[in-house]
Amino acid sequence: MQYSISQVAKMAGVSARTLRHYDETELLQPAAVSSNGYRWYGRRELRRLQRILLLRDLEVPLPQIKAILAGDNDEASALRRHLMLITAERDRLDRIATTIRRTLDDLEDRHRLPDEEFFRGLHEGRAQLATSLQERFGNAATNTLGAATDRTAHWSRSQYDRAAAEAQDLYGRLSRARQSGVDPASPEALDLVAEHYDAVRAMWPADPAAYHALADLIETDEHQRGTVAVYDPDLPSWLAAAIRTYATQRLAYRR
């Protein structure tokens, strides 16, 4: 069954103007255009629109959405990645909501909130990473994360948004390289990993040893693996191998 642009707009809760824009930018093209210029959409287009709107709800910019969808040949796998991303975002918001409820209880004198609890929900994600680093690599790694906290403490929302958009683009290109059969030890892969290393160093001062150690976290730590797997379930192991090669070949890392 095919639907007109107005029917799809009503069904999806978007404007016809938005759908026309998606067509013009080749983000979502209709299944057919009749001789009078009317756009018609089928089930395949509805599924793609659903994925676009899911990513928009996660505040992914349209250019990055287009790149992500271009690298997704398996719709079921793509939806699983979206589910993982949404679940992670839900958990993050749940932690923040819990912090807000505790603050409200404190304001309304229902429960005296200890001073350190005000920021609990905001710090749990970073605390989880710190624990993983310390368990595997000792206090030196935790100190490195502390330096990262200092480095990004004064970032604005726009700086975080820009970093997120750049990460979306980079992980999309890494995923497409893996899916194309690029060897993680090849120059092509290492050039991409060079961008990853630069991005990591923008966030925290990773020396060659720390960057090599990051490969282990990406491969074995559930949280760190999940941040990469949302783009491609098979990307963590490929990226970990590429990072190890990059650290030894281009950063002269030696155990």
pTM: 0.48
Contacts of 135 (CB under 8 A, 6+ apart): none
Q: What's the gap between Cα 13 and its chain centre?
A: 25
Q: What average pLDDT does the structure give for the chain?
A: 78
State residue 38's pLDDT score: 92
Identify which of 50-54, 69-73, 106-110, 241-245 has the greatest average pLDDT.
Answer: 241-245
State residue 145's pLDDT score: 47
Please write the tens of the pLDDT for every residue from 78-133: 677 767 767 776 777 777 777 667 666 656 555 554 544 444 444 455 455 455 55
* pLDDT (average), residues 218-236: 83
State residue 123's pLDDT score: 46
State residue 122's pLDDT score: 45
* pLDDT (average), residues 51-77: 77
State residue 141's pLDDT score: 46
Identify which of 72-76, 82-86, 90-94, 218-222 has the greatest average pLDDT.
Answer: 218-222
pLDDT above 80 (res 250): yes
State residue 110's pLDDT score: 53
Which residue did the predictor score with more confidence, 249 or 137? 249
* pLDDT (average), residues 224-236: 85
Percentage of the chain with pLDDT > 70? 71
Least-confidence region, from 43-47, 76-80, 183-187, 241-245 = 76-80
Q: Which CATH architecture has domain 3-54?
A: Orthogonal Bundle (1.10)
Ranges in the chain annotated CATH 1.10.1660.10: 3-54
Say if CB 79 and CB 47 are below 8 A apart: no
Please write the tens of the pLDDT for every residue from 153-179: 566 656 666 777 788 889 999 999 999
Which residue did the predictor score with more confidence, 255 or 112? 255
pLDDT above 50 (res 185): yes
Which tokens in the block code for residue 227? 């941040």
